[in-house]
Structure 1
Amino acid sequence: MLKFSEVASYAWLGEFEMLKHSHCKILSKPWASKANREVAGKYFRIVRAREGIHRLNIEISRLQTWVDTEDAHLLEISTALTTTNTVLASEIRMRYEEHRHINNLHHIRLQAIYNLHGYCGNSVGQGNGVDKDQSAVLEELRGADLIEVNKYNEAGKRKERKEMESTRKESTWYNEMDSLVNPYPKA
């Protein structure tokens, strides 16, 4: 008797000996062909990719709206508090400046997405919060190679870890604590 676990473990239709010898001519069906199954798999991957693009278009417009709303809200609160509480207003204004600098990066990236040839989503707002230092931010980003930066960053972290490890091993305190925690000597 066939068990479900056995049936589920078969990867290919051709492994079903029982189906090969059935009277229904299962192997002559279009879905029994490996090429047809691969084409169907690719088709459904394309369908899922289109759904993903639709979801991304929605998320892109949400991000644009959120960035614009955050900038406007912080500026509005800062301006409103200028007359009643100047200390709080200046603190919120500093937060606004920090957020605006970061949000300008978001605006630049969003604008690059809007300029893509195949982009088909809404371009709501299109960065009404981008300020004068956008060209400075673009210039800063222009020569940056993110992959190399990450490689150097990882290499720097590894070097720091090795230095910390060697310093820690030289420390008598570390050796004493290690002997208390690990009673077996290292070979």
Structure 2
Amino acid sequence: MLGKYREALGELERLVVMRLFELSKLAMSATGYKLRQQISKGLQRRSEAIRKAITQYNVQAGRLDPPRSPILWKDIAQYSFLGEFDLLQHAHDDVRERMWAKPAVCEATTKFFKLCRAKEEITRLNVEIRHLRTAIHDEEQEVSQTIANLRHSDPLLALEFERRHQPRAAANAVHIHRLDHLENQYGLPQSSIGTRTQVFRSNDDSVVVPDSVRQDEDMATETGDVRKTPPDFRNEASPQGDCPCPLLQYTARLIY
């Protein structure tokens, strides 16, 4: 219904604009006699087409709910210049009068959706914070154990490894301090250490995730109890020997 109304309105607008351009051409001083005669005949044919378009428009406008005001031929015939044409202004709805266009409603709607997204972000951050705490906890334990083992087998490498790990340990301490401060300041629940999930590697170095790990990862979004961690390199061999972790492999390549 509305589509037919728009189509009739567009056709009427097109014919009226063409008529106004022809009237403007007819009023020009440089227009010759023969051209004026052709334009006059064209205006007569255009008038019949406009009358039919007005009838079609009024039929479609009366079927709308609420119905639009009808248009008369005298309303169209009085237009002499294109600047006087305001058919669309009276025929179309003014969206500025709609409820959603009011500034107060727009502001309230924006704040409502921001509040909804903030609650979703808090739920997601509760999972991510636990992931970060668990990753830092696992790394500190692994690095401490590696340094303790190297002090017996290779004291120099243990010293270099410990020196290179100090900036990372300081950054981890800052992260933990900020997380504790935010949880205490806003009364958030204290996040604990999660459970590490093993991710295996095949012979071609592609990551193979078991089905149980995928299920645990899906559950982490809801509860935050299980997390997926990077691969465990403690049992992998390297070009420098059986190095216990990736950071140690990198340090060994720098030293040797």
What TM-score, normalized by structure 1, do the two folds share? 0.46
Normalized per residue, which structure has more helix?
1
